[in-house]
């Protein structure tokens, strides 16, 4: 049906390539490109399919991307490199007439700040070119946004309160490790907290608001309100929301390490001179921390991510709705060689690509995933390893 080019050979890229290769009727040709070609070759070899071509590319360089796109002529690029590369890849897509999908919104390297404005600014250019850009198609953002769209379409006349709850109930056996790229992860979780209330953003100190929430099959876990990117598009697309928050679980051990890392300056993103060489402390830290892509082997337990929503249902009654997925790290590793966080990100990226190639999600312009029909995507989640569960009128534990 179509040719895809995947950029990024990390933990998420590993899962995307595995899943794409499992669906040859949709993905007829596959190219995997990344900064380090040998990593692409390892992934292709492990999958053992001769349909996967590999290539080297520096995705910070638009000219290199254009040369790669012209050589392979993909219909869609799946960007699972880092958020820093979103705009260069979108530029190359426009230059070559290629459609675009990613899992994380653009972030400048020299400022720990993410927002959609930079990518939304491509709306007219993608529209005029007749190309589709699908933004934020991992789990959160991604599935959480589709869950919200599904709730709006099928259950609620008006959604008032949205709480996205993200629990990693797994144990990788390391004193400290991040579940996806350490640089991006630490930049994200050390920021000030932010949530939407009564038409305005409320800012908090990092991890200021917290409470124990109960996660299915996992139990109670201390959960913290943090800023998260899908809130920005969801409050725009669902203006009836009076409040929207994102909660993530962190263990005490993790938070202690994070505090030390910050206190000793290792989370700094500005360059310093060390032995006459310019280094960025957080990039150096990444080099010494465990590689998230290699946490899978001893990872036990599950992730549980979902949306807890309160509002007026289609029958006009106040009601609550909780839709979630639990994913086992061990099962993810057994299937793809990657842990659950890479799996829960890579599977939705593959499904989003499938939605595009099958014509379900195809319209000119730049869109967040909740702007498409959620139904076919929800159906595929059940088929490709991320089944979901709905609970009606239960206690959401959130006022």
Residues of this chain that bind ligand NDP (CB under 6 A): 8-13, 34-36, 39, 57-60, 80-83, 85, 103-104, 138-142, 180-181, 184, 292-293, 341-342, 345
Tokens 């219909």, located at residue: 75
Q: How far is the CB of 181 from ligand NDP (least distance, A)?
A: 4
**Shortest-Cβ-distance residue relative to ligand NDP:** 10
Q: How far is the CB of 317 from ligand NDP (least distance, A)?
A: 33
Contacts of 243 (CB under 8 A, 6+ apart): 160, 161, 162, 195, 196, 197, 198
Q: Which is nearer to ligand NDP, 230 or 313 (CB)?
A: 230
Q: Which is nearer to ligand NDP, 101 or 258 (CB)?
A: 101
Q: How far is the CB of 233 from ligand NDP (least distance, A)?
A: 13
Q: How far is the CB of 315 from ligand NDP (least distance, A)?
A: 33
Q: How far is the CB of 144 from ligand NDP (least distance, A)?
A: 8
Q: Which is nearer to ligand NDP, 158 or 335 (CB)?
A: 335
In contact, 243 and 398? CB cutoff 8 Å? no
Q: How far is the CB of 148 from ligand NDP (least distance, A)?
A: 14
Q: Which is nearer to ligand NDP, 283 or 319 (CB)?
A: 283
Q: Which is nearer to ligand NDP, 269 or 312 (CB)?
A: 269
Q: Which is nearer to ligand NDP, 129 or 184 (CB)?
A: 184
């Amino acid at each position: 049906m179509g040719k895809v080019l995947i950029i990024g050979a990390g933990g998420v890229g590993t899962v995307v390539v595995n899943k794409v290769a499992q669906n040859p009727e949709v993905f007829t040709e596959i190219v995997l490109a990344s900064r380090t070609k040998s990593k692409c070759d390892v992934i292709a070899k492990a999958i053992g399919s001769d349909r996967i071509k590999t290539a080297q590319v520096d995705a910070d360089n638009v000219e290199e991307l254009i040369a790669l796109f012209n050589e392979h002529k993909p219909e869609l690029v799946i960007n699972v490199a880092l958020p820093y590369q979103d705009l260069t890849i979108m530029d190359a897509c426009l230059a070559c007439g290629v459609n675009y999908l990613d899992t994380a919104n653009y972030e400048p390297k020299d400022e720990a700040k993410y927002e959609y404005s930079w990518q939304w600014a491509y709306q007219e250019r993608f529209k005029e070119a007749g190309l589709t850009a699908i933004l934020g198609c991992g789990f959160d953002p991604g599935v959480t946004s589709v869950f919200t769209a599904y709730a709006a379409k099928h259950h609620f006349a008006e959604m008032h309160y949205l709480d996205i709850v993200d629990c990693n109930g797994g144990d990788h056996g390391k004193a400290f490790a991040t579940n996806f790229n350490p640089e991006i992860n630490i930049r994200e979780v050390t920021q000030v907290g932010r949530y939407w209330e009564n038409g305005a953003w409320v800012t908090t100190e990092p991890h200021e608001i917290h409470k124990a929430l109960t996660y299915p099959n996992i139990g109670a876990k201390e959960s913290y309100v943090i800023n998260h990117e899908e809130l920005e598009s969801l409050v725009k697309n669902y203006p009836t929301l009076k409040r929207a928050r994102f909660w993530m679980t962190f263990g005490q051990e993790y938070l202690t390490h994070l505090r030390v890392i910050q206190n000793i300056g290792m989370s700094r993103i500005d360059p310093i001179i060390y032995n006459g060489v310019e280094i960025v402390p957080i990039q150096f830290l990444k080099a010494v921390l465990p590689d998230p892509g290699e946490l899978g082997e001893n990872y036990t337990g599950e992730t549980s991510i979902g949306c807890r929503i309160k509002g007026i249902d289609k029958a006009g009654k106040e009601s609550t709705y909780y839709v979630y997925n639990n994913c086992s790290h061990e099962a993810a590793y057994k299937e793809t060689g990657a842990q659950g966080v890479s799996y829960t990100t890579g599977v939705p990226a593959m499904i989003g690509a499938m939605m595009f190639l099958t014509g379900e999600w195809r319209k000119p312009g730049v869109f967040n995933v909740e702007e498409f029909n959620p139904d076919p995507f929800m159906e595929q989640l059940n088929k490709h390893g991320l089944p979901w569960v709905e609970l009606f009128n239960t206690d959401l534990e959130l006022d």
